[in-house]
Structure 1
Amino acid sequence: MSAPETPDVERAAAAPAGWRFAFSKRWLGYLAFAIAFAIACGFLSNWQLARSKEAAAANALIAANFDSRPVPLAEELPSLTAYSPKQEWTRVTVTGTYETDKEILARNRPFNGSPGFEVLTPLRTADGALFIVDRGWVPTGSSTDAPDSVPAAPSGTVTVIARLKASEPAIPGRSATGMQVGTIQLSVVKQKLDGADVYTGAYGLLDSQTPAPASAPAPTVTDPPTQDEGLHWSYMIQWIIFALIGFFGLGYALITEYRKRNEHDPAEQARAAERARRRAQKRTDADVEDELLDASR
């Protein structure tokens, strides 16, 4: 037979556990995980805030530039490579002569859900440089490699008002042959034009031209792009809430284990009784009826 426990051992066994368990490796690991999760949520929240600011800046740029007073091209783009993202949608005016024999088609350009091409016509300016004007969109023809017809550009001297757009990047796997391009990448357009003096920083989306032709490609842009900042602010707040939920869950689990470990502590038993009394006070008549029905079954 084993020896009976001494009073000191009995008192140690009956002593309340307190909060000592919270400093164990297990709970410190939980805390480290909650902190790491909160930091990750913080980075994601900050990323959404940055996206929101970018969207707001883009909207402000559209509002400022889309219907701006046209500025002479040479003033807005003092060199062939000049262009700043802040100039997007800026309206410029330029006078010259279309070189229709050097016209290029940008392929795979959907418009209103239909496949087609955008017509890029070089405009020879007074100083001899070529400014690429996107005159609009034409649908794919009976042959998918070309449109059935392209409305001719006005002949002779023409004054064009266009909105500046940056040269597009290359898209892997998208290429074209002949007088077609996979994207409006102005360095490639320049090569197609045998290295002529071409504005390679930006091209122009046609807004209007004088004289106006009898027929023209469908304009690709007539109204400002939708100015929508999206749900970035909502997502930013959600990530902050997720971080708080992580700490709330950790605290709830900590308190639950404390109560379980200290269930024999008279002080904790008194607190448990008080919590039960408060829950009982919150019971409604419907709760009582449900309990009676459950008991009678």
Structure 2
Amino acid sequence: MRRWGGYVALTIVFAVVCGLLSWWQWARRVDAVDEIAKIEANYEADPVALGDLIPELDSVVDSAEWHPVEMTGEYLADEQLLVRNRPRNSAAGFEVLVPLQLADGTVFVVDRGWVPAGSTPEAPESVPAAPSGEVTVVVRLKPGEPEIPGRGAPDGQLATVRLPDVAALVDAPTYTGMYGLLVTEDPAPAESPLPALRPVEDEGPHLSYALQWIAFGVLAFVGLVWAVRRERKIAAGTAPVARRERDAEVEDALLDAQS
């Protein structure tokens, strides 16, 4: 009886683990669905003023992600930074960040696009220059990225789009909560980095994985019930005998009869 108590406890633990894994997959699906909803609602929306969506310099407005905003200012080209290790269609490259100083003196970080790595992966061959003088830009908002412990970058480059690192280089109040992926520049330069790609609207296999983990937890109890019933049949002498055992018994009976 103690042995079966252990089996029951093990089955319960397994089922709980399956339930937690199912919940984790379901939560990932919810996040993916929310992200798709934001893309569908915001990506092709009409541009609005930056202040209409971001009230403070350090604000991170989740519902504003991917929404276009329009602003006018001057690029601080001397403070340009490259974000390393940014693949695009399996090719290695960099994102080009250039601070844009607005009319009120604040600075907003613009990701002007992607450039491929050069002959070595450490730097691009060239980076198209940002327009000089006053420029009007339309960008799609994105939250800044966190720091990755242990990952560094050489001078003039960043490991991630960590906006406080950009702000530390700029002698002006800087937006550190969100930055923008460039859509258009006016006046448009003759050459620009490659624009950001539209994100893929795919929720992934999380729903099927969540259901599979639930099924595994249920099957564990089904297996336990089957094992208990079989044990009882064996104890009562009503369990089916394996064919090999029956054949061996027949052979023994024939030998006894002959002797």
TM-score of the two chains, using structure 1 as the length reference: 0.75
Partner of 1:109: 86
Percent identical: 48
Whether contact under 8 Å (2:106, 2:174) holds in the other structure is yes
Equivalent position to 1:245, from 219, 236, 245: 219
Whether contact under 8 Å (1:167, 1:185) holds in the other structure is yes
Q: Give unpaired runs (5+ residues) of structure 2.
A: 241-259
Partner of 2:75: 98
Cα distance in 1 for partners of 2:124, 2:9 equals: 63
Q: Give unpaired runs (5+ residues) of structure 1.
A: 1-23, 273-297
Cα distance in 2 for partners of 1:88, 1:136 equals: 17
Partner of 1:172: 149
Cα distance in 1 for partners of 2:166, 2:183 equals: 21
Across the aligned residues of Structure 1 and Structure 2, the Cα RMSD in angstroms comes to 1.8
Equivalent position to 2:233, from 259, 263, 275: 259
Equivalent position to 2:17, from 25, 29, 40: 40
Q: Which amino acid aligns with 1:172?
A: P
State yes or no: 1:53 paired with 2:27.
no
| SS state at 1:113 partner | coil
1:116-170 residue CA offsets vs partner (Å, 9 max, x unmatched)? 2211111111101111111111222345443222212222221111011111111
Higher-Rg structure is 1
Distance 1:148 1:42, change over 3 A: closer
1:53-88 residue CA offsets vs partner (Å, 9 max, x unmatched)? 111111111111111111101221222111222221
Cα distance in 1 for partners of 2:15, 2:86 equals: 44
State yes or no: 1:25 paired with 2:6.
no
Partner of 2:158: 181
Partner of 2:47: 70
| SS state at 1:80 partner | coil
Partner of 2:245: none
Cα distance in 1 for partners of 2:82, 2:17 equals: 46
Which sits farther off after the overlay, 86-95 or 177-186?
177-186
Whether contact under 8 Å (2:67, 2:140) holds in the other structure is yes
Equivalent position to 1:206, from 182, 185, 188: 182
State yes or no: 1:220 paired with 2:191.
no
Partner of 2:172: 196
Whether contact under 8 Å (1:118, 1:137) holds in the other structure is yes
TM-score of the two chains, using structure 2 as the length reference: 0.86
Partner of 2:128: 151
Cα distance in 2 for partners of 1:237, 1:60 equals: 23
| SS state at 1:174 partner | coil
Partner of 1:124: 101
Distance 1:174 1:30, change over 3 A: closer
Question: How many aligned positions are there?
Answer: 240
